[in-house]
Amino acid sequence: MEIRCHRISGGKATGPALVTEEPISFLGTVDPETGEVVDPGHQLFGKAVAGKVLIFPGGKGSTVGSYVIYQLKKRGIAPAAMINIRSEPIVAVGAIISGIPLVDGVDAGILATRDGTILMVDADREVIRVDEP
Amino acid sequence: MHLSREEERAYQGEEGESLRRAMEILVALGDIYGADRLIPVRSVQVAGVSFKTIGEAGLEWISDLRGRVVVSAVLNPAGMDLTRWQKMGIDERFAKKQLEIVEAYRRLGVSPDCTCTPYQIRPELARRGDHLAWSESSAVSFANSVIGAKTNREGGPSALAAALVGKTPRYGYHIEEKRVPTINIAVEADLKPSDYGILGYIIGKEVGDGVPRFIFRKRPDVDDLKALGAAMAASGSVALYYFDEEAPAAPKGSEEILVSDRDLQDVRQECAPDDEVDVVAIGCPHSSERELAEVARLLEGNKVERELWICTARATAERRSDLVGKIERSGARVFCDTCMVVSPASDRYRKMMVNSGKALAYIPTLCKMKAAYGSVEECVRAATRRV
């Protein structure tokens, strides 16, 4: 199945889905040294974002979050790609400076994707391919 | 968003990787905010300078960048005085990282002027009608409201992208329709200079990201406006306000707020200094020459008994080294390139007295310290313990 989307940050990547219905503030929520969600109040608490196609409604919080995404990428523990319902500047800028594919403009139904489903995000062509199990 | 052929080439990476990333940032933000095209900017002020704020993550990003800015670009305040950091009690590890950040920006062609008041040291950076890409919230407010230039509040990467490309997406405060007042503020009090910070502190909380239109009994001067705008941008996120009698009023049916002397007094009493104050700081936003002269006059013949800092831009301090000398003879210190809010030097104190509504709003959260407020005279008196 292919889903149309809107390119925010170019590139193409494949990985297992990690999904949350909650917005993410990268500063404070994701540990830049381990890539784990360390905020006990977050749905994804204890999960690692490395190599995942991270699906979340959008970003929030401090603009330093953009640099945290960059740091994850340099450590090799960043998400492979990210999908938002609607991107905001913190995650958009973070993805761009890090070279992580990021798309938005998809239906909120994407948040019902099961964790582990393999997704291919092609931001340049503005499509997401879902491999049905 | 429409791109010219030249912009499209840069966006596709034909002008190199740094410009491609820069264009990608501008296009993404333009898409998110509904911009129709890019417009040239006169100057850029880049946020994300203090190591305390951006940390290792930010330093790594800036150090990895290549390229050269194509318009005048200056920096936000850093986490320390770049030359006298030892006198601030900054440790060597922090200093090394902070100097690396400034050096990395310098390599990109950004001038190492670290100030929240670029308009005080280089007026040519912003003239009426100019489009800018500035970052620091009080500078943005001053540029939009007092100078009559046009800028959104940029983040660090988006400002740097604007400096590398020389353009910014046209949305928000670049568009006339977004610059219309949304709320009227009638100030029914005779304001002293030290009331403007308090007024801004109150109104920012009330109006959030609105565009207030003030009606004053008397026209404020430039330092009053600097204090007012800075406080509203900190307690709220006001990026544009009107104070001129000629300015249009908010449209019919808009909300109106009345501010009385009583409202100002309430905040003053709540934030009055006490014996717990162990440091006093002036210069948020950075002191103008006139403010330095005022502090020098108040300190004449006095010795400070508590730590007293005056924060200003390096260019201002260099131009008025006579005033700096007079101030420091009292034992007070003039620090450049930084301020009490962004420097970790504040961390070892318990309660800071300030003459700034902006610092009053930020110190409890960003510095995890109590804050007290007073006029510049009261601040100097508290530092010298004169009664």
A43 lies within 8 A of chain B by CB: no
Q: Which of A71, A79, A97 is nearest to A15 (CA)?
A: A79
DSSP A66-98: HHHHHHHHHHT-S-SEEEESS--HHHHHHHHHH
The answer to whether the Cβ–Cβ distance between A67 and B53 falls below 8 Å is no
Q: For B26, which residue in chain A has the nearest alpha carbon?
A: A93
Q: What are the pLDDT digits (tens) for B291-310?
A: 999 999 999 999 999 999 99
Which stretches of chain A score pLDDT less than 70? 132-133
The answer to whether the Cβ–Cβ distance between A87 and B28 falls below 8 Å is yes
Using CA atoms, how far residue B84 sits from A106, B48, B328, in Å, is: 52, 21, 13
Report how far residue B104's alpha carbon sits from residue B214's, in angstroms, rounded to the nearest whole number: 41
B13 lies within 8 A of chain A by CB: no
How many residues are present in chain A? Answer: 133
Q: What are the pLDDT digits (tens) for A68-79?
A: 999 999 999 999
The answer to whether the Cβ–Cβ distance between A89 and B31 falls below 8 Å is no
Which stretches of chain B score pLDDT less than 70? 386-387
Q: Answer yes or no: are the C-beta atoms of B304 and B384 closer than 8 Å.
A: yes
Neighboring chain B residues of A87 at a CB cutoff of 8 Å: 28, 32
Q: What are the pLDDT digits (tens) for B10-63?
A: 999 999 988 998 999 999 999 888 999 999 999 999 988 999 888 888 898 899
- Any idea where the domains of chain A sit in the sequence? 2-130
A28 lies within 8 A of chain B by CB: no
Of B56, B57, B158, the CB nearest to A93: B158
Which residues on neighbouring strands pair with residue B287, listed in sequence order?
B312
Please list, in sequence order, all residues whose beta carbon lies within 8 angstroms of the beta carbon of residue B103, skipping any fewer than 6 positions away.
Answer: none
DSSP B288-343: -HHHHHHHHHHHTT---SSEEEEEE-HHHHHHTHHHHHHHHTTT-EEEESB-TTT-
Report how far residue B338's alpha carbon sits from residue B346's, in angstroms, rounded to the nearest whole number: 11
Q: Which of B237, B246, B177 is nearest to B215 (CA)?
A: B246
Report pLDDT for A86. 92
Packed helices A89-98 and A65-75: angle between N→C axes, nearest 10 degrees: 30
Neighboring chain A residues of B54 at a CB cutoff of 8 Å: 64, 67
The answer to whether the Cβ–Cβ distance between B28 and A96 falls below 8 Å is yes
The answer to whether the Cβ–Cβ distance between B32 and A6 falls below 8 Å is no
Q: Which amino acid is at B333?
A: R
**3-class secondary-structure state, position A31:** coil
Report pLDDT for B101. 97
Report pLDDT for B387. 42
Q: For B10-36, what is the HEC assignment? A: HHCCCCCHHHHHHHHHHHHHHHHHCCC
B271-384, which class in CATH? alpha beta
**Strand arrangement, sheet containing A53-56:** A2-4, A127-130, A118-122, A12-19, A53-56, A81-84, A102-104, A6-9
CATH 3.30.499: does it fit domain B5-176? yes
A71 lies within 8 A of chain B by CB: yes
Tokens at B267, concatenated: 């905040």
Report how far residue B135's alpha carbon sits from residue B127's, in angstroms, rounded to the nearest whole number: 17
Please list, in sequence order, all residues whose beta carbon lies within 8 angstroms of the beta carbon of residue A101, skipping any fewer than 6 positions away.
Answer: A9, A10, A11, A12, A13, A80, A81, A82, A95, A121, A122, A123
Q: How far is A46 from chain B (nearest CA, A)?
A: 22
Q: For B54, which residue in chain A has the nearest alpha carbon?
A: A64
Neighboring chain B residues of A74 at a CB cutoff of 8 Å: 60
What is the number of CB-based contacts under 8 A between chain A and chain B?
A: 66
Neighboring chain B residues of A68 at a CB cutoff of 8 Å: 57
Please list, in sequence order, all residues whose beta carbon lies within 8 angstroms of the beta carbon of residue A55, skipping any fewer than 6 positions away.
Answer: A17, A18, A19, A20, A82, A83, A110, A111, A113
The answer to whether the Cβ–Cβ distance between A97 and B21 falls below 8 Å is yes
Report how far residue B337's alpha carbon sits from residue B345's, in angstroms, rounded to the nearest whole number: 13
Which residue matches tokens 């707020």? B257
Neighboring chain B residues of A66 at a CB cutoff of 8 Å: 155-157
Tokens at B353, concatenated: 């007295």
Of B28, B53, B60, the CB nearest to A70: B60
pTM score of the predicted model: 0.90
Tokens at B284, concatenated: 């948020």
Does this chain's domain B5-176 share its CATH topology with B271-384? yes
The answer to whether the Cβ–Cβ distance between A88 and B32 falls below 8 Å is yes
Q: Is the ipTM above a cut-off of 0.90?
A: no
Q: How far is B65 from chain A (nearest CA, A)?
A: 10
Q: Which of B117, B270, B282, B267 is nearest to B201 (CA)?
A: B267
B3 lies within 8 A of chain A by CB: no
Active site residues per annotation of A: 62
A87 lies within 8 A of chain B by CB: yes
**CATH number for the segment(s) A2-130:** 3.50.30.10
Neighboring chain A residues of B162 at a CB cutoff of 8 Å: none
- Any idea where the domains of chain B sit in the sequence? 5-176, 180-267, 271-384
